[in-house]
Structure 1
């Protein structure tokens, strides 16, 4: 199972609605299912829009679904294949430099996704171990969604294949954390 399989499963719940992929990247989510009205945003790719995902020019509630897959860790510059693939070099403009930046971008992006969404927000994140400390990004995402007037409908854990580690480093202890897809729906009472 991969990310696009999970999106396909969630599409049954959501339906075919106007969708914004706030952090499009390589578009991996959309390999199994593509909404008929998909708008893409990514500063580093050939996307429809190239805006900062924490402060876009989209109108409030302009898409039924907003998908948000932010950077989950701060990676240094290297030729490591995952850093190249996901464009997670620290030297890129706006890239997170440390876990505080990662968490700031997670909260800022979720708030922006909630502002833009008319009904659904889908966030992919994961808890991170950095310098031997567990950072509960999943709880941070859940709390931010609820504070933004959304109800969590579904959480789906995604256990990917083990990722290669940068040379000279090895994740130990709690390092292998699953990604979590969080589907949230706008609270109808708060929306009125």
Structure 2
């Protein structure tokens, strides 16, 4: 598989949110404003990219040689938790406004199934280190794109005169479904 096909597939065709339904909690929770959506996207991009590389290295050079593959999930969760804590400390010191905007969702990156899912998918797909890095970054971009588009839609929905029963979560879920169907249109693209 070429790197271009990994990139296009991860961002559009098999989008982590719309196709694989991973990362739905921050997708719905942080998508009220585009600024916080982009901040969360950047934080998730950092964590997914680093966690994917570290998880691949641990799987290849520690777990597989020692026959400890059954510890994969636990080890990956510990790596992700460490990275999120590191990110939280750095953001609190350098960008306190973004840290406040993300609020409770920043520590929730630890339990974001998209982060763990990407680390496990890289191993299941049998990618080498560069392919794993490419897939991690591309999937993160796809996550950020989905979050940013959805936040833009939700900002516009706040300005629309909607029936009271449709305001908030109901219209957000309907729009998320329509976006997922729109991204399904990319599945007809043949790459490589």
Which protein has the bigger helix share? 2
* Larger relative contact order (Cα-Cα within 8 Å, sequence gap ≥ 6): 2
Question: Rg: which structure is higher?
Answer: 2
TM-score range, shorter chain: under 0.3
